[in-house]
Structure 1
Amino acid sequence: MPSFDPPLRDLAFVLHDLLDAPAVLATLAQHAEVSAELIDQMALEAGRFAAEKILPLNPGADKVGCLWHDGKVATPPGFVQAYDEFCELGWPSMCADIADGGQALPRLVFSLVGEMLSSCSHAFVMYAAVNHCAAECLRHSANEALRRHWLPLLASGHVTSSMCMTEAQAGSDIGLLSTRATATDDGRFLITGNKIFASGAEHDLTPNIMHLVLARLASAPAGSRGLSLFLVPKLLEDGSRNTVHCDGIEHKMGLHGSATCSMRFEQAQGWLVGEPNQGLRAMFPMMNEARLLSGLQALGLSEQALQNSLNYARERRQGRPASGQGPCPIIEHPDVQRMLLSQKAWTEGARAFVHWVALLLDIAQWHDDEVVRNDTAALVELLTPLVKGFLTENAQQSISAAIQIHGGHGYIAETGIEQLARDARVTTIYEGTTGIQAQDLLLRKVLGDGGRRLALLQERIQAWLALQAQDAHMHEFVRPLRAAMQTLTEATALLAQRETAQAGSSLAVSTHYLRLAGHVVFAFLWAQAAAAAWKPAQQGSAWHNAKLTTARFYFLQLLPESSHLMASIAAEPLNMEAAFEAA
């Protein structure tokens, strides 16, 4: 079974040295009393709980998985007990409002806990973290009666939630869905239709499950503009069973411990969330949280892969080093070092990225300056598809490297590394594929507002670069960061011209654009990490020197991908359809 040691030292570096999170939170009235000690303690306890209680369940979650029988789903062995303890310790209530029985802690704390849980069991976090996402939906869109009833239940963890969107004919093109909603005289709605790929829509962790269901009213226009959102509970208020049925669960490549359900609604009672025909708008807060959660999952899985790669490379003896006697630990081989440093750069960069965005969410919600709140929220909108699209794709590379480092032992089930690869693969697919994230980034978040959101990021980077002008030791990081940002500016201008000339002409390279933008963010964060590590490294800290070496590796070996991406973006658009024409 893979091992896991909570990465508290690197977390402390990110939170205190890189983000100065306690000082930032101190400027927000809502979180002014959240101390550095409290944040560190939450990370410590979350890491301990995840490592001791959740990690041992993960092999069984894969081998046994979820079992469906007669409409009911049994979660893997130990999940019920672990979830009960998770709730007893108050983890579901972290970010909930005090009025809803919550602790009103920063969004940053949820991010730290989510990372730890994701490292130890991707399947468990699918159940444990979804209420945070659903609560965001209700807080933004539900009426007072629904909020008053359901938010305390979500905060306690005594009710879980699911997102029922996808249908057999309506996946990414959600406007094709056919589930119907009929109004009754007493304000309820009757929901009829079938949904697939509904994570956690049936299980044995809680008696009740709150389904958020997209459906279409009879008078609604066609397409996505005619969708409405409904809250459909498994159990009604009197305890009777609603007409919601689980017809089976999917047999998947990985993530076996998370029930992916096929659901049938037969005039099930539901309540409107938000306004009629505004279902996607009502659902967006939950979808965006789920996309950020995907980035956390990618980070957690990458961290476990990195730790086990390092352990194996230090213990496994094979071959002879360039100078010396063999057999030696394989960590002494340069190609293994290259793979390990790639894992380290992707993983530690992802940690800085996801927790920075979490801190930005706290600022966007609680800062006392409306302009700051709005600008920060706009920046988060830009960064969200990058967290989802860039980090999840990087995780595939990182975990693939882990398999390669383990050699044949990475390919067999005993080490657990191949499970990480199978579990992680879905993170690039659900909550919007990488291609969808790329289109959203380019067309909506960048070109859609004339580059305003992108300018917010560029201004932050430029301001930081200006502060480094006199530090000669930072030139090796500042220069490539500035060059990467210039490349992104040129790519943006080029694709804007293409879109103006012909709508949709930039989509073939939108995933390249997403990766290019992701590298700019990573270069920004790794340059800041290098600045924070520089002085302690010069004073003899081996840990900080390792951080500095990883930063150099990222700039020398991984960031150059941006040049290749730009070459593809700048190439003359190709009529790719010609390759698929019938002879």
Structure 2
Amino acid sequence: MGFSEQVNLSLRLLDASPAWHRVCELAEGLDEDLSRQVVLAAADISENLLLPLNGPADAAGCRIENGRVKVPDAYHAAWAGFAGDGWLGIDAPEDLGGQGLPLALQAACQMLFDRAAIAFGMLGGATRSAVFVLDAHAEEPHRSLWSEKLLTGEWSATICISEPDAGSDLGRVRTKAEQGADGTWRVTGNKCWISYGDHDMTPRIGHMLLARTGDAASGTRGLSLFLVPNTTDDGAPNGVTAERLEEKLGLHGSPTCVMRFEEAEAILIGKLNNGLPQLFAMIERMRILTGCQGAGLALASLDLALAYAAERKQGGAPAEPPVPINRHADVQRQLAEMASRSYCLQAFLLELGAVLDLSAKHPDAAVRAENADLAAFLLPIAKNFGGFTGFDTASRAIQIFGGAGYTREWPVEQYLRDARILTIYEGATGMQALDLLHRRLWKDEGKGLKIFAERMRADIAAAEAAHGGYAAQTESVLSRFLALGVSLTEQQAERAKAEYGADAFLNAAWSAISAWMGLRLITVADDNAQLAAAGRLRIREADIAIGESVARTQIPADCFEAFREEG
């Protein structure tokens, strides 16, 4: 499945989504032809402009020179072409210069961009995501000025949260913002793990930064959100410095910076001490972006493995010529497992994009709220298993290639390196598991989970006539997942015991979603034997995995407590 085939599958999967059809009913002028034109154009720019960057940028890397970060030379023309063609604003509001198209359509394009050059695409991901925070919370003229400059690619943006002693533990952020007598805010502190914290592709970089304001309370409630440009309005330096670049396993074409802010002029965004909730407009998009990054790498890895297995000849009867390795049962098994995971992830991210569209744009407040609850439940799962699937599929592709896959002759080793970070940044696996347990199951009283079950059961009912056996197996997976949710809900008083099962609950949620999307693959397969087989396999794998997850939540705590450091 090359770039054009990926387009066809994305459009087929969207067409099978009831949520997508509701989105199309709300979007004036959006039809199948327009959707196809947009995603085909994304495939074209991905294959012809972005893909040629990927290997050379990985080899060249980034460097600091005369106090500024230098990116691979080819990035400059690529950024001008990518941004100039409007790809940063696919789903951004039209009054800010965006195209106002659905997020689900943007997700279909994003998987193509990241399939081609994930490291390059990280700048665009943060830049476009920042627009939604500014649109929701910034005052004029900053809202319009910055949004329009970001969407044209003239300026760029980062998400600037982590500090040396405050990664996921944001309540310990120490960077401070103080307001002078003239009303100007100034930020001082250090931030780390900042992707594209500095670079030479745009003259101005705006850091969407969390800082503690004055004598504000400790914890996340004392954090405010600021836009901190690297230059002042007249182009002078603004006390923002990239101190060093991290030496990383992968994503060599994306500079990861340690940043220092010294009395840097800053623009307060929204209300004081309400920074983290406001920043979630950006974090939400960064999480689905991470899922799309994983899907792009998974689909690229799968395609390389399929092509290699069809061409590489080895084995067979000694007296006969060797046969392509895809004739061997174990290779067929590996390819099928890769395909089932990759295609289901692709289907899930498109579904999530449509749910997020309905949560933002449906005219009925009750429908918006329902889809917002569902999206909140699905996002931790998408973020984590997008990353997991990207890495796992790249690793499996290397296995198909054998020793050749371990060399730089083929890009699968780069895909493996690039994918490893995906289950770490934007909230590591453990954080996503705890979010699902504490917030989505306990605090929200499982509202999103109940809506998820309703949507999944509607699809099961629709598939019963044509695919009764697989529909029944999908229902079984869902029922066991819901029963696990009830069991963990009853354990709220035993918080530590339940938290030992949080990772298993996260995996169980993925099993249920996998079965749901596996059933969808079967329903859209038509005469595509590989797609139908991938769907059938995913349901069967989910049926096995859900049992394993339930069993893991029942492991006694004394198996873990010995690893608690004392003193």
| Aligned residue identity for 1:261 | C
Aligned match for 1:497, one of 481, 484, 490:
490
**Do the aligned partners of 2:521 and 2:534 also contact (CA within 8 Å) in 1?**
no
Match of 2:381 in 1: 386
Alignment of 1:17-416 (within 5 A): 18-19=16-17, 23-28=21-26, 31-320=27-316, 325-416=320-411
- CA offsets, 1:447-503, max 9 Å, x none? 21111111011111223333344x1x4122112211111111121121112222x22
Cα offset, 1:389, TM superposition: 1.2
Matched, 1:519 2:503: no
Aligned match for 2:472, one of 472, 479, 490:
479
**Do the aligned partners of 1:27 and 1:367 also contact (CA within 8 Å) in 2?**
no
| Gaps in structure 1 of 5+ consecutive residues | none
Give the secondary structure class of the aligned counterpart of 1:267: strand
Match of 1:15 in 2: 14
Q: Return the alpha-carbon distance in structure 1 between the equivalents of residues 420 and 32 of structure 2.
A: 35
Quick one: structure 1 residues 271 and 444, their matched pair in 2 at CA, closer, same or farther if it must change by over 3 Å? same
**Do the aligned partners of 1:439 and 1:507 also contact (CA within 8 Å) in 2?**
yes
Give me the TM-score of the superposition, normalised by structure 1.
Answer: 0.94
- CA offsets, 1:345-398, max 9 Å, x none? 111101111111111122112212211111011111110001011221122221
**Do the aligned partners of 2:226 and 2:269 also contact (CA within 8 Å) in 1?**
yes
Cα offset, 1:580, TM superposition: 5.6
With 299-308 and 31-40 compared, the bigger mean Cα shift is at 31-40
**Do the aligned partners of 1:22 and 1:35 also contact (CA within 8 Å) in 2?**
no
Q: Return the alpha-carbon distance in structure 2 between the equivalents of residues 98 and 557 of structure 1.
A: 43
| Aligned residue identity for 1:121 | A
Aligned match for 2:557, one of 566, 570, 573:
573
**Do the aligned partners of 2:13 and 2:524 also contact (CA within 8 Å) in 1?**
no
With 339-348 and 89-98 compared, the bigger mean Cα shift is at 89-98
Give the secondary structure class of the aligned counterpart of 2:211: strand
| Aligned residue identity for 2:479 | Q
- CA offsets, 1:525-544, max 9 Å, x none? 221221233xx3xxxx3x2x
| Aligned residue identity for 2:367 | V
**Do the aligned partners of 1:513 and 1:569 also contact (CA within 8 Å) in 2?**
yes
Cα offset, 1:146, TM superposition: 2.2
Cα offset, 1:98, TM superposition: 2.1
Alignment of 1:528-547 (within 5 A): 528-533=520-525, 536=526, 541=527, 543=528, 545-547=529-531
**Do the aligned partners of 1:461 and 1:524 also contact (CA within 8 Å) in 2?**
yes
Matched, 1:424 2:419: yes
Match of 2:499 in 1: 507
Q: Return the alpha-carbon distance in structure 2 between the equivalents of residues 477 and 496 of structure 1.
A: 29
| Aligned residue identity for 1:483 | S
| Aligned residue identity for 2:134 | L
Give the secondary structure class of the aligned counterpart of 1:498: coil
Q: Return the alpha-carbon distance in structure 2 between the equivalents of residues 282 and 25 of structure 1.
A: 25
Q: Return the alpha-carbon distance in structure 1 between the equivalents of residues 305 and 155 of structure 2.
A: 38
| Aligned residue identity for 1:99 | D
Q: Return the alpha-carbon distance in structure 1 between the equivalents of residues 243 and 463 of structure 2.
A: 60
Give the secondary structure class of the aligned counterpart of 2:492: helix
Aligned match for 1:435, one of 418, 423, 430:
430
**Do the aligned partners of 1:71 and 1:248 also contact (CA within 8 Å) in 2?**
no
Quick one: structure 1 residues 439 and 159, their matched pair in 2 at CA, closer, same or farther if it must change by over 3 Å? same
Give the secondary structure class of the aligned counterpart of 1:27: helix
Matched, 1:561 2:545: yes
Q: Return the alpha-carbon distance in structure 2 between the equivalents of residues 78 and 6 of structure 1.
A: 27
Give the secondary structure class of the aligned counterpart of 1:571: coil
Cα offset, 1:5, TM superposition: 5.7
Q: Return the alpha-carbon distance in structure 1 between the equivalents of residues 292 and 60 of structure 2.
A: 25
Cα offset, 1:250, TM superposition: 0.7
Quick one: structure 1 residues 126 and 259, their matched pair in 2 at CA, closer, same or farther if it must change by over 3 Å? same
Quick one: structure 1 residues 53 and 111, their matched pair in 2 at CA, closer, same or farther if it must change by over 3 Å? same
| Aligned residue identity for 2:79 | Y
- CA offsets, 1:179-219, max 9 Å, x none? 11111233321100111111111111111001111111121
Q: Return the alpha-carbon distance in structure 2 between the equivalents of residues 384 and 476 of structure 1.
A: 29
With 66-75 and 117-126 compared, the bigger mean Cα shift is at 66-75
Matched, 1:548 2:532: yes
Q: Return the alpha-carbon distance in structure 2 between the equivalents of residues 144 and 316 of structure 1.
A: 60
Cα offset, 1:52, TM superposition: 0.7
| Gaps in structure 2 of 5+ consecutive residues | none
| Aligned residue identity for 1:39 | S
Cα offset, 1:303, TM superposition: 0.7
Q: Return the alpha-carbon distance in structure 2 between the equivalents of residues 195 and 578 of structure 1.
A: 34
Give the secondary structure class of the aligned counterpart of 1:116: helix
**Do the aligned partners of 1:60 and 1:77 also contact (CA within 8 Å) in 2?**
no
Give the secondary structure class of the aligned counterpart of 2:268: strand
| Aligned residue identity for 2:66 | D
